[in-house]
């Protein structure tokens, strides 16, 4: 195992306990949500059918058949995803700042390793990406399980069945689980760019303290402006000069520039400004 792989494995292992808790929380909350939402719908149906003597077909016509999307749009589902997203965003900062915490700060030992300091930067970034992809994979795995629980809880006359593919394509889940490889590259490439920009902003603060906070915030603003330049020009000029594919291509180029610039600056700060 080379040094870079060891660094990635080390960063993953440091967060593994909390990461496994996030996975367990996602599974428990979402399965519980399927059960609760299904029971709520069934309680309404049983009350209408048994007490008001409404036929099943009439109840479905008046209230609509329940679908898995009714659950996917509920707080149970969105909150579990939101908690995981918030935890990983918080970890983008924690993955650096915890190395400076304590009497014997770990960052000194980390920077004295016999490896290029760029490997430290990239190992932290890759570990974040791998954790995101891991949670997305877990979500993709448990969707069929949740769909099976939903079908088990609700009779076929009262539900409208959907395949996992229809569930993903029919809602915001397509942002987390892209439908094509191109969308996957675009979505998660943008995510990696955001992580690299935040990493570099953090290193500005670590290198120059209070002045670094201003520099870091300024760097984030500049990066956002560069990346959003085609869209901003369209808004301010009130005219679209680019076709959709041209706009996407330009955004990809600008995203690569911002990412490369962030990695280069991060490596410069780690090598020249952050000392041990």
**What is the pTM (predicted TM-score) of this model?**
0.87
Evaluate if residue 104 carries a pLDDT over 70: no
Take residue 130 and report the two structure tokens written for it: 């791998």
34, β-bridge pairs: none
Find, among 25, 121, 16, the residue nearest to 76 by Cα. Answer: 25
Evaluate if residue 171 carries a pLDDT over 80: no
CA distance 189 to 193: 6
**DSSP code per residue over 121-184:** HHHHHHHHHHHHHHHHHHHHHHHHHHHHHHHHHS-GGGB----HHHHHHTSTHHHHS-SSHHHH
Classified as helix, coil or strand, 204 is: helix
Render pLDDT for 8-51 as a digit per residue (tens, 0 to 9): 999 999 899 999 999 999 999 999 999 999 999 888 888 888 77
Please tell me the predicted confidence (pLDDT) of residue 160.
87
Please tell me the predicted confidence (pLDDT) of residue 166.
83
Mean pLDDT of the region 199-220: 93
Take residue 124 and report the two structure tokens written for it: 């932290």
Mean pLDDT of the region 56-69: 85
Please tell me the predicted confidence (pLDDT) of residue 51.
75
The half-sphere exposure of 10 on its side-chain side, counting CA atoms within 13 A, is 16
**pLDDT-derived band of residue 137, with 50, 70 and 90 as boundaries?**
very high
Q: Where are the domains of the chain?
A: 15-100+128-177, 178-276
Evaluate if residue 248 carries a pLDDT over 70: yes
**Direct distance between the N- and C-terminal alpha carbons of the chain, in angstroms, rounded to an integer:** 26
66, β-bridge pairs: 159
Out of 39-43, 57-61, 172-176, 211-215, which region has the weakest mean confidence (pLDDT)? 172-176
Kindly state the percentage of the chain with pLDDT values over 70: 97
């Amino acid at each position: 195992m080379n040094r870079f792989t060891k660094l990635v494995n080390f960063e993953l292992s440091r967060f593994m306990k909390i990461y496994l808790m996030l996975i367990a929380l996602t599974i428990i909350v979402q399965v519980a949500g399927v059960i609760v939402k299904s029971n709520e719908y069934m309680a309404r149906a049983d009350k209408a059918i048994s007490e008001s003597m409404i036929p099943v077909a009439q109840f479905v016509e008046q209230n609509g058949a329940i679908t898995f999307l009714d659950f996917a749009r509920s707080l149970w589902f969105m909150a579990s995803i939101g908690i995981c997203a918030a935890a990983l965003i918080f970890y983008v900062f924690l993955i650096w700042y915890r190395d400076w915490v304590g009497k014997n700060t770990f960052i000194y030992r980390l920077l004295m390793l016999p490896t290029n300091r760029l490997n430290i930067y990239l190992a932290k970034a890759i570990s974040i990406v791998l954790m995101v992809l891991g949670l997305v994979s877990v979500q993709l795995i448990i969707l069929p399980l949740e769909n099976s629980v939903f079908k088990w809880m609700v009779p076929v006359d009262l539900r409208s069945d959907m395949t996992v593919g229809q569930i993903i394509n029919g809602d915001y889940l397509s942002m987390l689980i892209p439908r094509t490889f191109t969308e996957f590259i675009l979505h998660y490439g943008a995510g990696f760019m955001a992580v690299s920009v935040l990493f570099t902003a953090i290193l500005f603060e670590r290198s120059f303290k209070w002045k670094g906070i201003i520099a870091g915030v300024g760097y984030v603003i500049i990066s956002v402006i560069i990346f959003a330049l085609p869209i901003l020009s369209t808004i301010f000029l009130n005219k679209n000069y680019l076709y959709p594919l041209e706009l996407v291509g330009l955004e990809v180029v600008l995203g690569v520039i911002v990412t490369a610039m962030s990695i280069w600056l991060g490596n410069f700060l780690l090598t020249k400004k952050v000392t041990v």
